[in-house]
Amino acid sequence: MKLAEGDLVAEVEGNVVKDGRVLRIDRIDTLYRLKADEAKRDTIARVHSFHADHCPVARTLRGAVEIVTRFELV
């Protein structure tokens, strides 16, 4: 599957909490909006299920920040 510009858009929101006198991020929530055929949903869901294991940011933050990802087809 080849994506064109604009076919994949991510909305990312971080939750910042006060930890004593310091602010820290405790959660990152990402919604991927993917322009794709409904027939590809199972493949996309399978790839989505393990993509964090190959994401440098997710691997770096694992254990310190809750990372939640979701996707929707548009």
If the chain, 74 residues long, is cut into consecutive pieces of 10 residues, what is the mean pLDDT of each piece? 89 96 96 96 96 93 95 96
Residue 55 lies in a domain: yes
Q: What is the pLDDT of residue 1?
A: 73
Q: What is the CATH number of the domain that holds 40?
A: 3.30.300.20
Asked, for residue 2, whether it belongs to a domain, the answer is: no
Work out how many domains the chain is built from and give that number. Answer: 1
How far apart CA 31 and CA 52 sit, in angstroms, is 13
Give DSSP secondary structure letters for the chain: --PPTTSEEEEEEEEEEEETTEEEEEEEEEEEEE---GGGHHHHHHHHHHGGGG-HHHHHHTTTSEEEEEEEE-
The pTM for the full model equals 0.84
Domain that holds residue 52: 8-73
**pLDDT for the residue 2:** 83
